[in-house]
Chains A and B, each alone.
Chain A
Amino acid sequence: METGGLMTFYKWILPSCVALIGVSFLSQGAYMQIKANFAQYLIEQAWSKTLKDQLPHKPWSWADTHPVGKLKLYADKETDLYPIGQPMYVLAGASGRNLAFGPSLILSGAGVGEQGNTIIAGHRDTHFLPLKKVKKGDIVELETSYGMQQNYLITQINIVHESQTEILDMTTDNQLTLITCYPFEDLSANSEYRYVVTAKKVNSGHRLI
């Protein structure tokens, strides 16, 4: 039965190969998710340093970016505000690499806390997944490097085509634009549509969190 033994050996090759490919896919996907979550802890440390001295700090030594702000989402429930998701640290420059680590500030817009249109993009499957839950009237809190907390009231939620870059245009008032891909349930890495949350700055005395 040595042929039979060989046969039994051979027939296990196929499932184990499939299992291997499966594991590689799984780990690749999991790596992206873990990276997205774990990086936030490192960025948090860099951010706390930045809050102390207002200087840019790299979250890890080989990074080419630095945190420029901290973003929190709050749902407006009748009388009180409830946080949605974890606080997020915003990185400078919306390159594909930065976006893997955290929501990123598009540099052609205004800086965090500056006058104008501050634009932050994030991945729909990691950091900006909670955007699915926000609605008009909710609050976005943005912390600047001086530790100032600015509150933005969500006034508009639009779905735009990726070519509609007018949402990146400068505004005269203080606006915060959050961009992520749409629809949220889509699995692929490419999407034609963007989910755009527009929030206007409210007086910091208006609603203190």
Chain B
Amino acid sequence: MTRLTSYQVRDMPTNQKEANHHCFQSKKINRLHRFNSAVAYACSGLILLALMILNVLFPVHAMASNSSRVIEQVDEGNLSQVTQGILRFQQNGQQFESLPLKTDVQMKVSGWTNRVSVKQTFTNDTTEWINGQYIFPLSHHGAVDQMRLIIGERVIEGDIQPKKQAKATFEKAKKQGKRASLVSQQRTNIFTTDIANLGPNETLTVEISYQEKLVYKDGEFNLRFPMTINPRYAPAQSMLSSQEGGQSTHSGASYLSYESLSPVLPTSLLSFSHEFFNMEKPANSDSSSNSLMVSLSIELDAGFNVASIDSPYHQVTKTGAADKWQINFVNQQKADKDFVLTWRAENIQDYSSKPMTAVFTQVGQTHLPSTFIESNGANSANTAEVKDSHRRNMSNESQYGLVMLTPPFVTNSMGETDTRGAETLNEAADARLTSTHVPRELILVIDTSGSMSGGSLEQAKQAMLYALAGLTSQDKFNVIEFNSSVSQLSSTSLSGSSSNIGKANQFVRQLEANGGTEIGKALAASLLNQTSGTDYASGSEGGNTSASMLRQVIFITDGAVSNEHGLFQQIEAELGDSRLFTVGIGSAPNSYFMERAAMFGRGTYTYIGNIAEIKSKISQLLAKIEKPVSTDIKITYQDGTLPDYWPAQIPDLYQDEPLLVSFKAPAYNQQDLVVSGYTQGQYWQHTINRQTPKKAAGLDLIWANAQINAIEATQTRANLQRIKSQVEALGMKYHLVTSQTSLVAVDKTPVNPMADFNRNMQVKKHLPAGWKSPKGVLPQTATSSRLDILIGLSLLMISLMHGLWLKGYLPGQRLILPKR
């Protein structure tokens, strides 16, 4: 150490005056010197780093003010000043406000049916009279048969009316200043509640009740309550198909556009708009005041000893024992993801070996057309009495029922019955490996539309990768992605060699969400290509192998489309020998579309709600679709005549997926039912004893709903009017909200003299949880290139300065202490 720095010069006189006289002490100084220089270096470095970080964190935002042509459209102040329940949004100079709403859901599960009552409590926090609207999802299995308008202590029972008439009644009441509510259907699973003349600081409750049948699948019962709606994509009717043609892009020429006869959805549902969706900032998300909150309680009467109750996406409390349970939400929950509850029997063999015989019946209708007293299941003893007396009078009433169809057990080569759904993932996977592997052609279709961005796409990718991993070299496969256009991994199906799978993995990993949801094009690409695909295969490999190959299309999407009906028709027309399996992804997929699509595609529907479930669900699906299927299922009476059952076309039965069919039998016909079908080409039949049925309530509603769904699916432009009036008649008779009938309730006395000046408000929805929509939709158009360059230059500068300092070349050093 021959040189001293300015630090030492300053330090020495104060600390170590006689130090430089001794060699021993000069070592000390050396140490001190090193320490000092390290501190000095660290300090200067830290200061610079801090400056840089500050620069990045607080970029100059003041640029907007100096240019007058710039219009600030988002007023941040407004957004953060949310005080009470009302959310204000300014958009194009217009103010949109959200009406606060509390939803209270009560469910009564008994056996296979579920009675749900949804109480929507609207609160008016403003000082004006308002009209409100709330578009909300309900289970597509649900038959909405009751609506009550509750104002304080008074309850006004809703009346079923043809849709137009109900609307007119509602509008008239609105004009007259009467409180009124209207519940109408937009889609099988989307409903609207309108309320009129809600006074300042008033509260009003609309109670909607519906009946639904439960889903039994893989050994467990499944109950789903949707909370929010994915924004839907409406494809342009004329398929101009802008040809962004890469070689892999499916040409639009072979794609036929199937006309959708479903009514147009409100535009606010078709895109992310502030009118409809509650785009809250993350900072506000924890404040419950502006959120749509839901409380939920379930009375579960399973009818068997329940082994496990599981709510995978929400926190619940469970109390009870054996077959009776009470399930509640821990707190009120934000309505941004679907609620799912599953439960299974304690002894699986005990329950699932028997259900072949399960039949549930009910005599007479729930809603009697001649009386005004409505019965609400087993709710009030009073109405039940009235109903009973009524029933005695009309002893020749029809019987409504549900019959469960279970595929007959197929014993495999190992001589044991097939794996039951209760089994764990590992066992299922083992079963998949050990069971005789039928070569198949697996077409994986993935939705990469804008609505999938965020968590959904990640889930879908994981599911794809998992499905790809399960392929063997005997299999053939292809990967198709679609958004506004369709692109495929290869034009024909590839063999499942490891290099091909590697390619596919790469293809899947690079997928990004962007653009629209042209499911039609993707369906065409996945279903229509089969002839050319197999021809090609048979040409190269020689016949037989590809002919016997199962062609399975796994369609992973959130189903956020609005042209459902057209797509169903397309699936029906183009299916051929393929089977379509839909996999619903995300927090709020359109399960109505997916379940029906799977039905038309003669496959099954799987719902995956979070990443953790992907492995088990996909492996279950792959294992299930490998197993033989029961086809051509028919239900007859013993004498061969057909009962009145819906769906009229019974879909194929997959293992572990029993199906519930609704039937109606006239009072005089007490014959047993005979179910028959084919499994692996073998005919089977069994008789279902109708003499000892289990009792259930609300089956007529389920029957009518099944019939409405079935006949609406067959509508074409030619029979549209006929089907409409048929649906209307059914809706009127069974007191159901359908596409043609609505429930309306009107208070008798006018309360608002100035009804024409009401403000119109809408309840905003939450975006489904896990969505990155605000970021995902407008592309991110900046890189950190300039920041990187700046950091790089700064660091270089620091190191240069330090180097110079070590060398003693810095100006100050040279002046103070010249070289010795």
Contact = CB atoms under 8 A, between A and B. Distances in A.
Interface of A: 4, 7, 11-12, 14-19, 21-30, 32-33, 36, 55-56, 64, 66, 68, 92-96, 99-100, 104, 106-108, 110-111, 114, 121-126, 128, 135-136, 157-169, 179-181, 183-191, 193-194
Contact of A29 (B64, B774, B785): B785
Nearest to A160: B73
A185 B69 contact: no
Contacts of A28: 785, 788, 792
Contacts of B722: none
Contact of A99 (B245, B484, B779, B788): B779
Nearest to A55: B245
B799 A194 contact: no
B512 A95 contact: yes
A160 B73 CA distance: 6
B313 interface: no
Contacts of A180: 781-782
Contacts of A190: 780, 782
B72 interface: yes
A32 B785 contact: yes
A93 B45 CA distance: 42
A188 B54 CA distance: 12
Interface in B767-820: 773-775, 777-800, 802-803, 806
The CB with the most chain A CB atoms within 10 A, among B273, B512, B789, is that of B789
Contacts of A136: 69
Contact of A110 (B56, B91, B242): B242
Contact of A125 (B773, B783, B796, B799): B783
B1 A95 contact: no
A148 to B, nearest CB: 16
B212 to A, nearest CB: 34
Nearest to B248: A64
Contacts of A126: 783, 785
A66 B247 CA distance: 11
Contact of B483 (A15, A29, A107, A114): A107
A166 B273 contact: yes
Nearest to A127: B781
Contact of B272 (A18, A36, A128, A163): A163
Interface string B257-284: 0000000000000011110000100000
Contacts of B803: 12, 15, 19
Contacts of B788: 25-26, 28-29, 32
A114 B514 contact: no
Given A12-B806, A25-B795, A187-B790, A121 B785 contact: no
Contacts of B61: 183, 186
Contacts of B781: 99, 121-124, 128, 179-181, 191, 194
B197 to A, nearest CB: 31
B51 interface: no
B450 interface: yes
B244 interface: yes
Contacts of B510: 64
Contact of B64 (A4, A135, A159, A191): A159
A5 to B, nearest CB: 11
B394 interface: no
Contact of A66 (B30, B70, B246): B246
Nearest to B517: A108
Nearest to B57: A188
A125 B59 CA distance: 14
Contact of A19 (B240, B787, B791, B796): B796
B783 A163 contact: no
Contacts of A11: 34, 37, 806
Contacts of A122: 781
Contacts of B272: 163, 165
A191 B787 CA distance: 13
A66 to B, nearest CB: 7
A18 B802 contact: yes
Nearest to B798: A18
Interface string B48-79: 00000001100111011000011111100000
A43 to B, nearest CB: 15
Given A30-B789, A32-B783, A108-B450, 18 more contacts: A7-B1, A14-B802, A15-B806, A18-B795, A19-B799, A25-B788, A25-B792, A64-B246, A95-B514, A114-B240, A125-B785, A128-B781, A159-B64, A160-B73, A162-B774, A163-B773, A187-B787, A190-B782
A114 B64 CA distance: 33
A16 B795 CA distance: 10
Contacts of B59: 183, 185-188
Contacts of A56: 244-246
A180 B780 CA distance: 8
Contacts of A165: 271-272, 773, 777-778
The CB with the most chain B CB atoms within 10 A, among A107, A111, A121, A157, is that of A107
Contacts of A158: 70-71, 73
29 contacts: A4-B1, A11-B34, A11-B37, A15-B803, A22-B796, A23-B792, A26-B788, A26-B793, A29-B788, A56-B244, A92-B244, A106-B514, A108-B483, A108-B515, A108-B516, A111-B242, A122-B781, A125-B783, A161-B774, A162-B777, A163-B778, A166-B273, A167-B778, A183-B59, A183-B60, A187-B787, A189-B783, A191-B780, A194-B778
A189 B784 contact: yes
B684 interface: no
Contacts of B777: 162-163, 165, 168
The CB with the most chain B CB atoms within 10 A, among A15, A16, A30, A104, is that of A15
Contact of A188 (B41, B74, B782): B782
Interface in B285-338: none
Nearest to B796: A22
Given A22-B793, A25-B792, A125 B786 contact: yes
A188 B787 contact: yes
Contacts of A23: 792, 796
Nearest to A65: B246
Contact of B279 (A16, A66, A163): A163
Contacts of B793: 22, 26
B735 to A, nearest CB: 40
Contact of B70 (A7, A29, A157): A157
Contacts of A18: 45, 795, 798-799, 802
A125 B790 CA distance: 13
A162 to B, nearest CB: 5
B514 A93 contact: yes
B819 to A, nearest CB: 15
A135 B69 CA distance: 8
Contacts of B245: 55-56
A96 B802 CA distance: 38
Contacts of B798: 15, 18, 22
Contacts of B246: 56, 64, 66
A187 B778 contact: no
Contacts of A96: 512, 779-780
B782 A124 contact: yes
A3 B35 CA distance: 16
A160 B778 CA distance: 10
B662 interface: no
B485 interface: yes
B779 A179 contact: yes
The CB with the most chain A CB atoms within 10 A, among B34, B777, B780, is that of B780
